[in-house]
Structure 1
Amino acid sequence: MSLDVRSIPDRSARAPQEGRPDRQEDAPWWQSAVVYQVYPRSFADADGDGIGDLRGIASRLDYLRELGVDVLWLSPVYPSPQDDNGYDISDYQDIDPVFGSLADFDELLAGVHRRGMKLVMDLVVNHTSDEHPWFRDSRANVGGKRDWYVWRPARPGRVPGTPGAEPNNWGSFFSGPAWEFDEGSGEYYLHLFSRKQPDLNWENPRVRHAVYAMMRWWLERGVDGFRMDVINLVSKDQRFPDGAVADGAAHGDGSPFYVCGPRIHEYLQEMHREVFAAHPGRLLTVGEMPGVDVDQARLFTDPDRAEVDMVFQFEHVGLDHGPGGKFDPRPLRLSELKRSLGRWQEGLATTGWNSLYWNNHDQPRAVSRFGDDGPRHRELSAKALATVLHLHRGTPYVYQGEELGMANAPFAAVDDFRDIESLNHYAHAVAAGADPERVLDGLRRMGRDNARTPMQWDASPGAGFTIGTPWIAANPDHLRVNAAAQLADPSSVFHHYRRLIALRHGEPAVVHGDFTMLLPEDEHLYVFTRGLGGTALLVAANLDGAPRPLPAAVLEGWGGARVLVANYADRPDLGGFPVLRPWECVVLRRASA
């Protein structure tokens, strides 16, 4: 028996339904789904102001339907001063005018549902904007909201507001101390991110229930779930001790005292009871959890514990960070990547669920980072990376433009960047004596703005994203790498993604099969099998720019198996002892009689 992916029916027009016949009877719908992340500011601009908006997204829904994805994940569109591009929220129950209105949102949601897809909102409740009414009341100590945020006095014996007087030595993710002095009250407030993103005090039950009420409001409006931003940081050790200081670091590492803090499981179980339990079988909930390990993720995603459906973990996207952090990248060793992803496959094999991603709004482009974005191997490497990821067990996430093989942008100078993390890092590093060109090289390779350049729809001056001046420059390569060209080319990266998504919808072994890593120490070949009942899949990829032989032992028992997916058009089978060409990937299927 064999399965030709071309014969799989197109399910892109169908809503995800419980009890699909092509999977285990009691499996939740999101296990066979594929999620597409839209970064609204950069996706599609309908009004020509250079900033993407909701009506722009609505105009491109047929594109997502053709790709075949099941869920649209929308990065924040709430009112915001845009200090951190919308992750600093000033009103949880409205739409920022730069993106449109609630009416526009309702039209978008209706359009998503008409096309058989679901919509997931970004939930950002570790912190708000300092312009949120809650924080304004808290800062002014009116309305009983002082303890809605984390306020602390200066360190004993220090003069408030002077260097070193912060309540502890924690550093912010966005450089500098994690505490901001407020002259009006003489105290400091905690901000793990920007100083304009004060942390909510989840110890206060009034805060938690205000958040739950807001979540219910969106679900009642028809939203189908939430991606929860840094949700495992909401519980802090209330002693607020100093963190260890690494050599050369200006601040201490407070993460042991707020990553998966003492009450995090209590809070998520309460959230589930108060919000999610009223919508059985309908929602997708994914927690972004920096610093989480496999054992912790198993607890968070165990259905019997009723917390979240899956987590975003960061282990595999930290493997190329050097001793100086993310902006000091080092070459990635494929064996390390396989050990990491394989450990997550094994750890969540029987309990919990994986989320699968290379790209998102916080990561540089995968084809530049893990692949080869040169003209010779760009498409091949984009397809190979996609194949490896989508054939793992878990729910795949596609970030806008990933399905086109969009690459990092050629930022020439620091003035080309827009992201607060990059700009703050540059300012602090250069002030500390670092070589500006070396700092810029790190930003070019790892900066978040690489993911935020406009979606490349066509070869027009605005890349089809806008008729105006885009808020951040489009990558010049949009002249040849764009959706219009790829939709017309059956061999494009876009259509390869489409085939992978169709395979997930049509082959139960992709969704539910067990996972076995082969050749774990090989630094060039990524090979594994998936198996369910009498069906087995072999995934073999050469993640290198030189030809690599596939060991004969890997192919034992695969004689006569059919190729389901390949990124070279002339790969009919894997007979004999083949050599995988540069960035070649192939998926085989065999079934018992």
Structure 2
Amino acid sequence: MANWWKEAVAYQIYPRSFKDSNGDGIGDLNGISEKLDYLKDLGIDLIWICPMYKSPNDDNGYDISDYQEIMAEFGSMADFDRLLEQVHARGMRLIIDLVVNHTSDEHPWFLESRSSRNNPKRGWYIWRDSKNGAEPNNWEGIFKGSAWEFDPQTQQYYLHLFTRRQPDLNWENHDVRRAVYDMMRWWLDKGIDGFRIDAIAHLKKEPLLDDVPNPDKLRYAPAMKSHLNYDGLLDYVDDMSRNVLQHYDIVTVGEMNGLYAENAEEWVGEHRGRLNMVFQFEHVRLWEPEAGLRPEPAALKRIFTAWQEALEGKGWNALYVENHDLTRITSRWGDTEHYWRESATCIAALYFLMQGTPFIYQGQEIGMTNTRFEGLEDFDDVSAKNMWREMAEQGKSEEEIIAFLTNTGRDNSRTPMQWNAWPNAGFSDAKPWFKVNANYEMINVASQQQDPDSVLNFYRALIQLRRQERTLIYGRYVLELEGHSQIYAYSRMLEGVEFVVLCNMSSKSARWSEAELSLDGARFVLGNYAPVEETYRLHAWEARVYKL
């Protein structure tokens, strides 16, 4: 079934790092407004903005203290309303993050909840007594350390799967759900076009909050299985859908760690009326940061193909390779030392032309790379700081810790957007809140705008090709050259029209035979090398698209 959000190309914005409009060194909503023409020219249809709500910023805005106010650093609600109006005036749409697994510990709901054990909102969060003089159970938080925080005032612990300042809401409580649904309707009635639902996989917890097995005898055992995609979670999703989602023409994308292709239809099956898409985690878990190894094409083929086949004719994929929680894809999967442009564009072609809605993360379209860190003071992310402390306690040297976090840290994707070669990369007239990547003079929007061979213009060409060819939106995906160790190839087929996408995911040339995959009579329509020198040989990180 055709839908506007299936035909859209989406762009994710991390507002703190996108564009500063008022010279305080921090990106803001008016900065986004300033760059809407850039996004429209790129070919974007749908913008997703990371949290811009009022927040003490313990976890970069994912700790919300008021769902219906804007963080002062980002502007005002009037600025948001103007941004939304300008997005719609350009024929684009806007979705925002829905963060309802937890709130900030400064949210009025939590302030009431912790005020006394008898407060009516006490049950809005998850409180437990001490167990044998210690935490209620041995669950470890996602950002390391205990998942419990002791509250001296009421002499109980509250659960927080993320930072200690992000107490988890109790979704078993119907009053919590009603309050969340009221807030969602408030935003939807304002005119937003949907939600990316943060950490939705964690809403349901194991009811008894039992200890998990601890074979390694660590202080805190990994507890993910007790709150990750736990049985009964879909009941919450159904409730949200019945009460809110089904009443609006919107798009919803759930962040779904722990979900695999064989269960995807339960979440996004069109007949089920739940979510439209999910961000699955399988492919982004392939990289081995300790060894610096890129994922083998065979593993990519297995995962992407499983998701493509599982949802064919049943549901829809969200296609992505970067976001605010991941290191830069060209550094993670590509070869930035020898084939920066080629690997950035090859990876783009690989994921972009599969069946699904492609998402681009800010800076991905110009091939932004991981940055360099010199010490603890260079890191902002709470999870990186917690990892630093844990590794130091394990006896790791500062050099070892920096090397690990340089490869894995979420801060890599949060450096300011590189607009031009001016000071601060054109992001701000003031010193930015976070250090700009040192390669901004080489990698930036301005230098790529007029270069026909740039990463930016390759993304433009991909978007234009997808928009022109219905087959590249709705066509069936078929894996080709399945056993090839270097080349990831697939076809898209619809109503007698066929395309073939070929990507050499390596730094060496790769060949295949005509008998394995014939291109006889095929027309070359897009590639990142020109001209094509040999039909059945690809250069290092070469990508080609043919129409048969």
- Following the alignment from structure 1 to structure 2, what is the Cα–Cα distance between the partners of residues 277 and 205? 19
Match of 1:241 in 2: 210
2:422 corresponds to which of 442, 460, 480 = 460
- CA deviations on 1:130-151 (whole Å, 9 max, x unpaired) are 0101001001136510000011
Q: Is the 8 A contact 2:418 2:425 kept in 1?
A: yes
Match of 1:311 in 2: 278
- CA deviations on 1:197-235 (whole Å, 9 max, x unpaired) are 000000000001100000000011110000000112101
Q: Which segment drifts farther, 499-508 or 398-407?
A: 499-508
- CA deviations on 1:258-281 (whole Å, 9 max, x unpaired) are 1122321111111111111221xx
Match of 1:4 in 2: none
- Following the alignment from structure 2 to structure 1, what is the Cα–Cα distance between the partners of residues 212 and 326? 26
Q: Which segment drifts farther, 560-569 or 244-253?
A: 244-253
- Asked if 1:66 is matched to 2:38, the reply is no
Q: Which runs of 5+ in 2 are unaligned?
A: none
Match of 1:76 in 2: 51
- Following the alignment from structure 2 to structure 1, what is the Cα–Cα distance between the partners of residues 119 and 292? 47
- Following the alignment from structure 1 to structure 2, what is the Cα–Cα distance between the partners of residues 250 and 351? 44
SS at match of 1:530: strand
- Following the alignment from structure 1 to structure 2, what is the Cα–Cα distance between the partners of residues 447 and 378? 20
SS at match of 2:435: coil
- Following the alignment from structure 2 to structure 1, what is the Cα–Cα distance between the partners of residues 170 and 299? 38
- CA deviations on 1:333-379 (whole Å, 9 max, x unpaired) are 221121111111111112121111110000000000001112x4111
1:503 corresponds to which of 448, 465, 469 = 465
- Asked if 1:291 is matched to 2:258, the reply is yes
Q: 1:328 to 1:269 in 2, by over 3 A?
A: farther
Match of 2:528 in 1: 567
How much does 1:331 deviate? 4.2
Alignment TM-score, normalising by the size of structure 2: 0.97
How much does 1:327 deviate? 6.5
- CA deviations on 1:493-546 (whole Å, 9 max, x unpaired) are 111101111122111111111111123333311111111111111111111111
- Following the alignment from structure 1 to structure 2, what is the Cα–Cα distance between the partners of residues 277 and 555? 44
Alignment TM-score, normalising by the size of structure 1: 0.90
1:136-215 to 2 correspondence within 5 Å? 136-141=111-116, 143-155=119-131, 158-159=132-133, 165-215=134-184
- Following the alignment from structure 2 to structure 1, what is the Cα–Cα distance between the partners of residues 259 and 291? 22
SS at match of 1:303: coil
- Asked if 1:348 is matched to 2:311, the reply is yes
Match of 1:23 in 2: none
Q: Is the 8 A contact 2:287 2:332 kept in 1?
A: no
Q: 1:354 to 1:265 in 2, by over 3 A?
A: same
- Following the alignment from structure 2 to structure 1, what is the Cα–Cα distance between the partners of residues 82 and 215? 51
User: Which amino acid in 2 is paired with 1:311?
Assistant: V
Aligned length: 547
SS at match of 2:515: helix
What's the Cα RMSD here?
1.5
Q: Is the 8 A contact 1:259 1:292 kept in 2?
A: no
Identity within the alignment, %: 45
Match of 1:216 in 2: 185
- Asked if 1:588 is matched to 2:528, the reply is no
- Asked if 1:435 is matched to 2:397, the reply is yes
- CA deviations on 1:553-591 (whole Å, 9 max, x unpaired) are 2432x212111110012128x64xx2211111100001x
Q: Is the 8 A contact 2:480 2:517 kept in 1?
A: no
How much does 1:550 deviate? 2.5
Q: Is the 8 A contact 1:392 1:510 kept in 2?
A: yes
- Asked if 1:334 is matched to 2:307, the reply is no
1:407-446 to 2 correspondence within 5 Å? 407-446=369-408
Match of 2:247 in 1: 278
- CA deviations on 1:225-261 (whole Å, 9 max, x unpaired) are 0000011210111111112335374422222221122
SS at match of 2:69: coil
How much does 1:190 deviate? 0.5
Q: Is the 8 A contact 1:109 1:119 kept in 2?
A: yes
- CA deviations on 1:163-216 (whole Å, 9 max, x unpaired) are xx1111110111101011111111110000000000000000000110000000
- CA deviations on 1:421-462 (whole Å, 9 max, x unpaired) are 101111112112233322221110111000000000000111
- Asked if 1:474 is matched to 2:436, the reply is yes
- Following the alignment from structure 1 to structure 2, what is the Cα–Cα distance between the partners of residues 80 and 551? 57
User: Which amino acid in 2 is paired with 1:357?
Assistant: Y
- CA deviations on 1:97-132 (whole Å, 9 max, x unpaired) are 100000000110011001110000001000000010
User: Which amino acid in 1 is paired with 2:525?
Assistant: L
- Following the alignment from structure 2 to structure 1, what is the Cα–Cα distance between the partners of residues 123 and 500? 55
- Following the alignment from structure 2 to structure 1, what is the Cα–Cα distance between the partners of residues 219 and 295? 27
Higher RCO (CA < 8 A, seq sep 6+): 1
Q: Is the 8 A contact 2:294 2:333 kept in 1?
A: no
SS at match of 1:541: strand
How much does 1:328 deviate? 7.2
User: Which amino acid in 2 is paired with 1:476?
Assistant: A
